[in-house]
Every structure is written in structure tokens, then in C-alpha cells.
A and B are shown apart, each in its own frame.
Chain A
Amino acid sequence: MTGAFLRCASDDRTALHEAGVAAARLAIWNASRETNRGATFASISVKKDASGKPHGRVRGRRRPVAVSISHSFPFAFAAAEAAAAVGADVERIRDFSSVVRDAFLTPAEREIVESAAPDERARLRTLCWSLKESVLKALGTGLRVHPVRVDLTPVLRGDSPALSVCGVLRAVEARSWRIGDDFVAAAVVIPIRSAYDWQHAAKR
């Protein structure tokens, strides 16, 4: 997995969108150079499929590169992965309303957050959201799967590179970043080729 952050000077939606696409091209460039040394930045484009999910194209290469884009002013963040599904999210650290935190965290995740130092809890909660959002973006479902159905407990405890989605344990590569005092970002790679694969696997 490769990632790229860009700082955007304007919080205008169009400017943030363009910064996201540029970050995606950078992340795809880095990802594709591992397998295609001849790839140039100019040969990379970002397109959306029918569901609006972006993917990268490298000129001369048939297979698309999975990419995920997120914005939270002033940052645009993207992650790319050549051979698996990827989801990325950047968020401003916040205190969630009690309604939201009770709804999206599992009891075990809440316990882990509450056991952290008080000044770390908001960051940890935001990181949990960011990881869950990344998983749901990688799977291509977004909020069609309730975030509480993504259980981060093994990742948060550092026990294993796995988490469960709808009760199914999945191996993942999960990374997170702290950006200054105010932002966190996460990216998750899940070894499936597309949400289509996952939805069919879930039905079996």
C-alpha cells in the first residue's frame, strides 16, 4: 500500500476534490512503480466506476489500481494498492456526541478507548471511526454496513492484523497516521479484488 497527503490552500469543494485526485495520482504512481518502473506521473489517471468508486489507470496497463480518496480541510489523502481493495480516510480529531460514540463503537472498542489517558480518547475514537470508514470504503459498501459491524478489537489491541466485518474475520493491512495535534488518517488493505468478490463471498 502506498499513500499520499497533500495540503490544500482553499477549503472550496472543487479545490479539495482536485487535491484528492492529485494525491491519488501520487499514491498510484508510487504503487505502480513497484511493478512497472516505466510508469510516469503523466501516464496515470483516476476514473470513477458506475458506483462512484475511484480507481487508477496506468497507460499501457490493463489492470486498474485500487485507490481511495478522502478530504478533511486542509488535507487531501489517498491510498493505493495494486493487487487488493483499499480504503482511506482522514478526519479532524473530535469529541463525538454520546449518541454517535455509543452507536459506532463495540463494547470492547469502548473499553479500549476508555482505558486510554483522558487526553488521548478523542484521538483514539476518531481513529476508530477512520479505520472503520476505511474498511467500508475498501469493501465498497460505505454506510450500507453499520460501522458497529466492523470490529477493530484485534487491531487496536495489536494482537493480529485482522478485524471482523459482519462477524467474518478478515486479514488486513491497517495503517494509521497522526497529523499534528488535530488530524488522524487511516488506510486499510483487504485482500479481495473488489466489493463484488466480498459480497459474493459473504453470501456463500
Chain B
Amino acid sequence: MIGNMPRNADTELRDTVISLIAGTLKVPAADIRDSSKLADIAPDSIALFELLVRLEKELGRRVEYEEIAHIETVGDVITYVASLPNDQTAGPPAPETPA
């Protein structure tokens, strides 16, 4: 069980995240394990950023960029995404005008 989510929701979320990772990073889903390190399967930082943006868009959850330092593996991504509240307005922060 991920966090306090029921098992069906766990499985559905896991499948969605794995499918997003496979599609974005161009890795066969069958090769992705919870222990797979993002640094090993992502070709570069642009691909990692695209993954974060797609996770927000597809799952409707706002990623708090300040909180992602601890994310190293696919399992970390699944756990982190499961901990985020739904936010249908999720998307990039508004650009800031210098004071």
C-alpha cells in the first residue's frame, strides 16, 4: 500500500506512473523497477523535467519542486506522487517580475 491509499488506487497510480516514465524516458515498461535510479534511466535533465511536467499534467497533482531533492528511484516517484493532493490547476508556476 502506498501511503494510506486503498490497494486498487495504489495499483492504478503505479501503472500510470510507470507508463508515464516509460513513455517520457523511452524505456520499456517491463525494464522499470521500483529500485531503478532515475539518473540511470533518464538520458538528461530535460527528460527528467519533462517527466515532472507530464506527471503534473496527467495526474492533476502539483509537484512541489523544492521537495524533490530526495527523489532518486522510480519507487520514490510513486511514493511522492501518491502523497500529493489532487490539484486540477496543476501547472508551472507563474513567472515572477523582479521587485
Give me the interface of A with B, judged by CB distance under 8 Å: 72, 91, 94, 96-97, 99-100, 102-104, 106-108, 129, 133, 142-149, 151, 164, 166-169
Q: Which residue of A lies closest to B40 (CB)?
A: A13
User: A169's contact among B48, B92, B98, by CB below 8 Å, is which?
Assistant: B98
Binds A, one of B7-15, B26-34, B61-69, B73-81: B61-69
A38 to B45, CA, bound (A): 38
A-B residue pairs in contact (CB < 8 Å), sample of 30: A72-B44, A91-B46, A96-B46, A97-B50, A99-B53, A100-B49, A103-B53, A103-B92, A106-B95, A107-B95, A108-B95, A129-B46, A133-B45, A143-B52, A144-B65, A145-B65, A145-B66, A148-B95, A149-B95, A151-B96, A151-B98, A164-B97, A164-B98, A166-B96, A167-B96, A167-B97, A167-B98, A168-B99, A169-B98, A169-B99
The reply to whether the CB of B37 lies closer than 8 angstroms to some CB of chain A is: no
The residues of B that contact A169 with a CB separation of less than 8 Å are: 98-99
Tell me if A99 and B57 are in contact (CB < 8 A): yes
B54 touches A168 (CB 8 A): no
Q: Are A99 and B50 in contact (CB under 8 A)?
A: yes
Known: A99-B50, A146-B92. 9 other contacts (CB 8 A): A91-B44, A99-B57, A100-B50, A103-B91, A108-B95, A142-B45, A143-B68, A148-B95, A164-B97
Which residue on chain B has the smallest CB distance to residue A108? B95
Measured between beta carbons, the chain B residues less than 8 angstroms from A102 are 92
Report A82 CB to chain B, min CB distance, Å: 26
Report Cα–Cα, A91/B96, bound state, in Å: 26
B85 at the binding interface (Cβ < 8 Å): no
CB pair A149–B49 under 8 Å, yes or no, is no
Distance of B26 from chain A, by nearest CB (Å):
12
Q: Is the CB of A149 within 8 A of B57?
A: no
| A146 in contact with B93 given A72-B44, A96-B46, A99-B53 (CB within 8 Å) | yes
Docked Cα-Cα span, A147 to B93, in Å, equals 10
Q: Bound complex: CA of A13 vs CA of B93, how far in Å?
A: 34
Query: Can you name the residue of chain B whose Cβ is closest to the Cβ of A107?
Result: B95
A142 CA to B38 CA in the complex, in Å? 15
Choice from A72, A103, A108, A167 contacting B49 with Cβ under 8 Å: A103
Residues of A within 8 A of B45 (CB): 133, 142-143
Q: How far is the CB of B72 from chain A (nearest CB, A)?
A: 11
Return A42 CB to nearest CB of chain B, in Å.
31
Known contacts A100-B46, A146-B65: does B53 contact A151 (CB below 8 Å)? no
